[in-house]
Chains A and B, each alone.
Chain A
Amino acid sequence: MIAIPTARTGAAVPAPSADPTVPTLRTTFRAMASTVTVQVVGPTGQATAALRRVSRIFARVERACTRFDPDSPLMRANAAGNSWHPVPQECSFALAEAARAHRYTRGLFDPRVLDTLVALGYDRSLPFADGPVHLDDVPAAPRRRTGRAAVGLGRCPTRPAGRCPTGTQPRWATPWRPEIDMAGGRVRIGPAAVDLGGIGKGLAVRWAAHALRAAGTAFLIDAGGDCHLGGSGPEGAGWRVGVEDPAGGDDPVAVLQLRDLACATSSVRLRSWFVGDRAVHHLIDPRTGASAARGLRAVTVVAADAAIAEVWSKALLIAGHAQVAALSRRHDLAALWVDDANRHGCSPVMAPLLLWTRAGADR
């Protein structure tokens, strides 16, 4: 067995396995406002080094892409607006991937939601896990170096469902074209500040999966719900992944059986809070500038890659109940959704991946 430092530092420890003859390494650490768990089944001699590499990957992506540190490369580039700003490679890649996702989803995925989130009071890490969060006083929309208020919808809490009356052009109506100079290591984000938290975590899982490909016979990465399942799991039949009940029930909505696939869930369950007496959440519909409210509580997407799964789960939830089936069919997505009545449905591509589903189907 491989040497084992303590888990609090993010180092590897042996984990109990269903098959005691198969050694398993596990490490847990905090990164990107999430608990990250990495498990390697049948570790090779490279496993310990690979696990250390994984924690470094998460730390680098967090440093580059966090929006909670005004001095992070992303926030400095946001503040630079229309000026070029040097950023580390992780930030350039995340921005390029976000721009690609924006095109593929025809604008449903739009990272230009930072000012809206700040206007809703989500300008710092909020204690969602400790119970309901109430914000009575929210900050004003930040101003850019361009000398004018941020383009977009501005301060939205007074208009729950519709566009905010800022008098500015709706953000979704303007195409997002950030400029990225990969060779020069600099970016020009444009007038609207971006939040790369979600796609950044998906990319961290993608890169971590690449780092673990030779670490063992199978591996699992769980970054606060964004997962990559490498190999066939401890029992060789695939990794069994529960899909959380967004209503808070003990049993999952479904159990997936995955091999060499990633999955991500977007849900309004956890990162929700109150502004005054109004409930809001972090998934902003770029078409309205308000928290998405189109009949879905959660969407899970399975894809070859965690960043793609993350993008589509968010885009489908924002698209809403009326469009989720058609959209996932059109794009051949493996999607499972739970609506506001806590009924679930899934796309044809998802069906073969389902090992178990609970009663209560959608439609």
Chain B
Amino acid sequence: MTEPRSGRWPVAAVIGPFSAAVLVAAVSWAQDHPPGSQPAAVLARPIGPAAGPGPTGQERRAGQERRAEEVRRAEEVRRVAELRATVSALRSQVAAWGAGRVARATPATVTTASPAVPARAGGSRAAASPPAVHTTTRASS
């Protein structure tokens, strides 16, 4: 690959090829961690102050490692929640697209978004007002 003239790789160029794989992995991971599941270390956390004499150096180190592990697990839980929300949003988009595709294939009625949109190519997509017409079909006059 040729290095860009700016000397820096665009972020999209680097991430783009991997984004699909990352997304698939993330979705898979999120599915393996259903809502409500918690890391085992978080669930095993002791409740209340530790009894007995002050901690030894070894115990302090163990405590620090445990707290670090708790922070790491908490961060992981937050990320899982975010991923789950993203997956949910993606699924909603896919469902909407799929419904739209079905509706286009066999519509009982044609529905329009709000405000008005052209029913097919030929009009301005942003046009809320109708195109000029050559004549009008109406109640017999």
Contact residues of A with B, CB < 8 Å?
A: 33-35, 37, 39, 128-129, 198, 201, 220, 222, 224-227, 229, 233-234, 237, 239-244, 246, 251-252, 254-257, 263-271, 298, 300, 325, 329, 345-348, 350-352, 354-363
Contacts and interface: CB of A to CB of B under 8 A. Distances in A.
A233 B134 CA distance: 9
Size category of the B interface is 20 to 34
Interface stretch (B42-50, B61-69, B116-124): B116-124
A354 B110 contact: yes
Nearest 6 pairs of A and B residues by beta carbon = A345-B109, A267-B139, A354-B119, A244-B138, A270-B139, A361-B111
A276 B119 CA distance: 43
Given A265-B138, A358-B116, 7 more contacts: A222-B136, A226-B137, A263-B137, A265-B139, A300-B137, A348-B110, A356-B119
A255 B135 contact: no
Interface stretch (B4-12, B20-28, B33-41, B125-133): B125-133
A355 B118 contact: yes
B117 to A, nearest CB: 8
Given A246-B139, A269-B139, A358 B106 contact: no
Q: Which of A263, A298, A356 has the most chain B CB within a 10 Å cutoff?
A: A356
A220 B118 contact: no
Contact of A351 (B114, B119, B129, B141): B119
Contacts of B139: 225, 244, 246, 265-271, 298
Contacts of B122: 237, 257, 355
Contacts of B138: 224-225, 244, 265, 267, 269-270
Contacts of A352: 120
Contacts of B58: none
B135 A355 contact: no
B109 A254 contact: no
Nearest to A302: B137
A246 B111 CA distance: 19
Nearest to B129: A251
Given A225-B137, A240-B131, A354 B107 contact: no
Given A348-B107, A361-B111, A362-B109, A244 B130 contact: no
Given A239-B134, A242-B133, A252-B130, A34 B116 contact: no
Nearest to B124: A356
Contacts of A240: 131-134
Given A270-B140, A270-B141, A359 B135 contact: no
A24 to B, nearest CB: 11
Nearest to A255: B130
Contacts of A270: 138-141
Contacts of A225: 136-141
B110 A357 contact: yes
B119 A201 contact: no
A355 B123 contact: yes
B120 A244 contact: no
A224 B116 contact: no
B112 interface: yes
A348 B111 CA distance: 11
B106 A348 contact: yes
